[in-house]
Amino acid sequence: MATIKRIIPPRILKSGVVEYHSVTSPPDDSIAMCHKVPDRIIPVIFVPGVMGSNLQSIATRTSKSEPVWVVNSTQRVLADWGLRDAKKRKSLLDPNKTELYRTGDLPSGAAPRSVFHTHPTPTQKEIDDELLRRGWGEVSHLSYGPWLKWLEESLNDADYTKTGLEYASSGLRPRLMKELVAHVPGIEPLTFDEVGLSYRYQFPVHAVGYNWLQSNADSAKRLQAKIDEFIRYYDKTYTCKNVILVTHSMGGLVARHYSEVLNQRDKVLGVVHGVMPTTGAATAYKRVKSGVEGSAGIVVGDDAAEVTAVFAQAPGPLQLLPSAEYGNGWLKIRDGEQRISLPQGNDPYDEIYTVRGKWWGLIDDKLINPLDEQKTKPTLDKDWDAFGKLIDEKVKPFHQDIANRFHPITYAFYGDDKAHSAWGDVTWERKLSHAARMLGTAAPIDDVKSGRVLQDHGQGEQLLLQQSGGTAMPTGFKLTEANENGDGTVPVRSGRALQGKVRVCVGYQGVDHEGAYKHEAQRLFTLWSIVKIAQHVKPPLRYEIDGECPR
């Protein structure tokens, strides 16, 4: 038999069947067949959203580390947080007293199909150890477990057998050669060559959790360290130089800071953003003033006191507030024909967030520190100063650093659904009796921005003492319902704010924020995007000659 000079990796045919070739030396007609598993690795790194990473307390000399926020199941979270008051929340969810918890539940039946071809029958412990190495235990099993399993299987659906490398013709990538993942400009079916190239790489799926209470700038530094670790790990045995990032919600802000501010763009082939609050979300203001709506409030906090206790000390959640890019006028106060809109000078930090003592300001200073139970509140000024420092030193600079900055190869999707409305604007509307409203007999307020709070239960209604014609009178204001299409958290204006600045940005109906990766349409969009991104490989990952693989 002739000696083999060069091995050509398999090609995927339009039928889904794989064709194998080998090049032999002349002059005889014998053929040697060698099946080669791809040895070029492109890790896919998933970056979760706010509250999507598990946390534990930091061990001290007098106490051991304990799980604090572990989202393995609805029952577990409800049991842990359903009865927590503001004091417990402030004490436990402190960015300076928490760190990542890395051994959360793993999805049942999950198996790392890629880079395990040399060991086809791993034990369950070996599988679990590999998934934990990849970070799957760092993130919410409830939100992301099935999604990570699906992504791993869809990206690594080759079957490494004794007879060679075979691809299932029913695989999702060949299917996307015939189907559109969205009916919008810029979306087309995958081509035969694009799918074929993607099968020449392994895409092991990883997750990088982070302490979502701390600044996203700090979380970006952990992302940097983990990506460097993963690349080193694979590059020892295979060829691995770049990664692909897939993000959910606030994870998109972490990824943007990593790629664009920390200057790590060259390590990233491309990014897929899901439901990212590109310019922030006014929903964050609403939830600080009235708690989280629906059943989620039982866990996150169903009134202003419970939410503020955590929010006011946590840079990460604060960075979800609307940035200057979000625009003017999203906070409104309405009394009949009298309308006030803020911010007016494109500075929400000074005009809203750090305004103290106003009923419509972001933070009620008396709610910052529920651990201070004295009537005189001796720590009130200190607590307020600490909060203001977070806005000035952590929130505003972070927003400025990532403003209008995206990786050049970025694909994104967002929710655009009336059934999942979000607060694009937040409106405080004066409460009037039906008769007064119909007859127009309500006396107008002299200055709707002023007023002393008489009663506020922290759920979106306030009773104020205001002036009308110079006479003191009690008035009520109430937050109106969500008013803009979205995903229940991020309004359309923020979700689509990167349109025209990235490769593709698609709006979908039926997307709820927390479950953005639980639906097939968004999963297929992500898979499609990853295949498109893979076309941008550079040496030494790129095959210089069509069909060539290293000797």
- Condensed to tens digits (0 to 9), the pLDDT of residues 409-438 reads 999 999 999 999 999 999 999 998 765 565
Question: Tens digit of pLDDT for each residue in 498-510?
Answer: 999 999 999 999 9
Output the DSSP codes for 208-239.
----TTS-HHHHHHHHHHHHHHHHHHHHTTSB
Question: What per-residue confidence (pLDDT) applies to 456?
Answer: 97
Question: What per-residue confidence (pLDDT) applies to 295?
Answer: 83
Question: What per-residue confidence (pLDDT) applies to 30?
Answer: 52
- Looking at per-residue pLDDT, the higher value among 18 and 228 belongs to 228
Question: What per-residue confidence (pLDDT) applies to 3?
Answer: 37
Q: Which residues pair with 505 in a beta bridge?
A: 412
- Taken as a whole, the chain contains a residue count of 551
The answer on pLDDT for 20 being more than 90 is: no
Question: What per-residue confidence (pLDDT) applies to 206?
Answer: 98
Confidence of residue 38 (pLDDT cuts 50, 70, 90): confident
Q: What percent of the chain has pLDDT over 90?
A: 80
Say which residue the tokens 């099993």 belong to.
Answer: 141
Sign of CA dihedral 290, 280, 360, 308: positive
- Looking at per-residue pLDDT, the higher value among 113 and 256 belongs to 256
The answer on pLDDT for 535 being more than 60 is: yes
Calculate mean pLDDT across residues 83-92. 96
The answer on pLDDT for 532 being more than 70 is: yes
Confidence of residue 520 (pLDDT cuts 50, 70, 90): very high
Question: What per-residue confidence (pLDDT) applies to 376?
Answer: 80
Could you give the CA distance from residue 147 to residue 508 in angstroms, rounded to a whole number? 18
Calculate mean pLDDT across residues 51-80. 94
Average pLDDT score, the chain = 90
Question: What per-residue confidence (pLDDT) applies to 296?
Answer: 87
Question: Tens digit of pLDDT for each residue in 457-487?
Answer: 999 999 999 999 999 999 999 999 999 999 9
- Looking at per-residue pLDDT, the higher value among 265 and 186 belongs to 265
Output the DSSP codes for 98-115.
EEE-------TT----TT
Calculate mean pLDDT across residues 87-93. 97
Question: What per-residue confidence (pLDDT) applies to 432?
Answer: 86
What is the CB-side half-sphere exposure of residue 243 using CA atoms within 13 A?
32
The number of beta carbons lying within 10 Å of the beta carbon of residue 107 is 17
Question: What per-residue confidence (pLDDT) applies to 304?
Answer: 98
| Helices and strands in the chain, H and E counts | 18, 21
The answer on pLDDT for 373 being more than 90 is: no
Calculate mean pLDDT across residues 226-233. 98
φ, ψ for residue 521, nearest 5 deg:
-60, -45
Question: Tens digit of pLDDT for each residue in 327-366?
Answer: 999 999 999 889 999 999 999 999 999 999 999 999 999 9
Question: What per-residue confidence (pLDDT) applies to 434?
Answer: 62
Tokens found for residue 167:
């691809």
Confidence of residue 118 (pLDDT cuts 50, 70, 90): low
The answer on pLDDT for 216 being more than 60 is: yes
Question: What per-residue confidence (pLDDT) applies to 441?
Answer: 59
Question: What per-residue confidence (pLDDT) applies to 27?
Answer: 57
The answer on pLDDT for 7 being more than 80 is: no
Q: Can you say how many angstroms the Cα of residue 521 is from the centroid of all Cα atoms in its chain? A: 17
Question: What per-residue confidence (pLDDT) applies to 15?
Answer: 43
Question: What per-residue confidence (pLDDT) applies to 491?
Answer: 98
List the single range of 93-97, 197-201, 379-383, 541-545 with lowest mean pLDDT. Answer: 541-545
